[in-house]
Amino acid sequence: MPLTISEAIGVFERAFRVRDPNEIERVLRENLNVQVAVIESKESAENRINEGYYPLTVRVPYWVFVSKVKEKELNVYFLEQENIISEENKKWKLEKIHSRSEILPSRTYFILKNEAGYYPDLGLTFEGNGEVTGFEKIEEGEKAEKFGVGREQAWEEHAVGTLDRANRMLEIYKPFLTDWAKNVFSIQNLKEEEVKESVDAIVLAIKIAVFFHDVGKLRKEWQEAVGWSKGQPYIARSANKHKVPFHAPYAYPFLKTILRNIFGEFRFLDTIALAVARHHSLEVTGAVKENDFQLADDNVVEFLSDLLSKNFPELNGIEAKRIIQNAIEVTNKGSLMDEPPSPSDDFYFLYVITNRVVKFADWEDAGDEVIELPTVK
């Protein structure tokens, strides 16, 4: 039985107190998984899926799957829709993964039965010559959600939607953050009201960072790769893409600059910025080349400034345009790689919580579903 979010955060918090990195990393690993379907062949699986069937899958820890793919040199496939002229003629196809960096947590992947070694009584052994996991009949809408294809979205729509979902999660996380803050800031003898103000500032900083998590997608190169043209709304997600440039690293220097402009020179802000920049992969370093943050067009600065003011009324009075312009300039100066806090660092708990918020808020909004913290009826 997987841990509930409250149980998982509780373990993180308790492990933080006793400085137990092994326990923290164990829980983190248990909450990062992929779904693996074992199939007869690429062609037979495509046929079944296009007939309206969904593959049954086995849940595998993310890092276990990635390491086995490397060790066994497995052929791995993911599902996407072909470019189509009409909804009636849309088809699903399996595309081969060419790099381990393309494998992301919480996704569905397909491997061949002669490489998989799947057995109903033993599970997935990766020893080869196993059985298939099988298929079940489901509706088209449910299929799209399960495959994680997501939906087409404008940049503003996705930013607002992700923030809305982060707001919901942070209401649940806030008591844990408060307890953590009391311990971390105890040396400063803060009063209860001062602790509350500190936590409120941390939560607001996370929200701002989550809102701008996809700022790297506003690069000219990225927008053009997904079919954007001048005069159209900027794109955050598109079905009409195969390969797109990376975007996540640019968030680190950009967010670090914005948050320090708003809240001051505090190291915990850098922790939040890096956790958000790693919303797709823990391997993202935050390193950016000089002059590599060329925007889609001249309207991006005004666009982001308006969004900052509109979506964060509590920041009334700040110079939004100056802050955005400064963040873009700093990002374009380039930045070296940065390392996350270690499990023994006071800010490691904040790093883990922030990364979890942005990761699940992003996934939820992209799929228009509730993955984490569903309402209990």
What confidence tens digit (pLDDT) does each residue in 93-138 have? 899 998 877 887 768 899 999 998 888 888 888 888 889 999 887 5
Pick the residue with more confidence: 307 or 79? 307
From residue 34, alpha-carbon distances to 68, 215, 292, 313 in Å are 13, 26, 32, 38
* Beta strands per DSSP E along 184-340: 235-237
In the structure encoding, which two tokens stand for residue 119, read together? 């057995």
Pick the residue with more confidence: 189 or 153? 153
In the structure encoding, which two tokens stand for residue 144, read together? 């799209």
In this prediction, residue 283 carries a pLDDT of: 64
| H-state helical runs in 19-154 | 21-30, 42-50, 62-72, 113-116, 140-147
Give every CB contact of residue 5 below 8 A, 6+ residues apart in sequence.
172, 372, 373
Q: Which of 171-175, 245-249, 281-285, 333-337 has the least mean pLDDT?
A: 281-285
∠ CA 365-362-169, nearest 5°, is 85
Instruction: Please give the helix or strand (H or E) that residue 108 lies within, else none.
Output: strand 108-112
Distance CA 364, CA 162 (A): 8
Residue 19: half-sphere exposure toward Cβ, Cα within 13 Å: 5
Domains of the chain by residue range: 32-147, 153-367
- pTM of this prediction? 0.66
Q: What's the CATH architecture for 153-367? A: Orthogonal Bundle (1.10)
Q: What is the mean pLDDT of residues 45-62?
A: 86
Nearest to 331 by CA among 283, 270, 373, 290: 290
In this prediction, residue 1 carries a pLDDT of: 35
Q: Supply the mean pLDDT for the chain.
A: 83
| Residue 367's pLDDT band (cuts 50, 70, 90) | confident
Nearest to 311 by CA among 184, 210, 160, 169: 160
* Side chain identity, residue 65: F
* Residue 197: count of CB within 10 angstroms of its CB: 12
- What is the distance in angstroms between the CA of the first residue and the CA of the last residue of the chain? 20
Nearest to 124 by CA among 141, 140, 112: 112
Q: Is 204 buried (19+), middle (13-18) or exposed (0-12) by CB count in 10 A? A: middle
Give every CB contact of residue 88 below 8 A, 6+ residues apart in sequence.
none
Q: Does the pLDDT of residue 148 top 90, yes or no?
A: no
In this prediction, residue 101 carries a pLDDT of: 78
| Residue 168's pLDDT band (cuts 50, 70, 90) | very high
Q: Which of 129-138, 176-185, 268-277 has the least mean pLDDT?
A: 129-138
Q: What is the mean pLDDT of residues 64-91?
A: 74
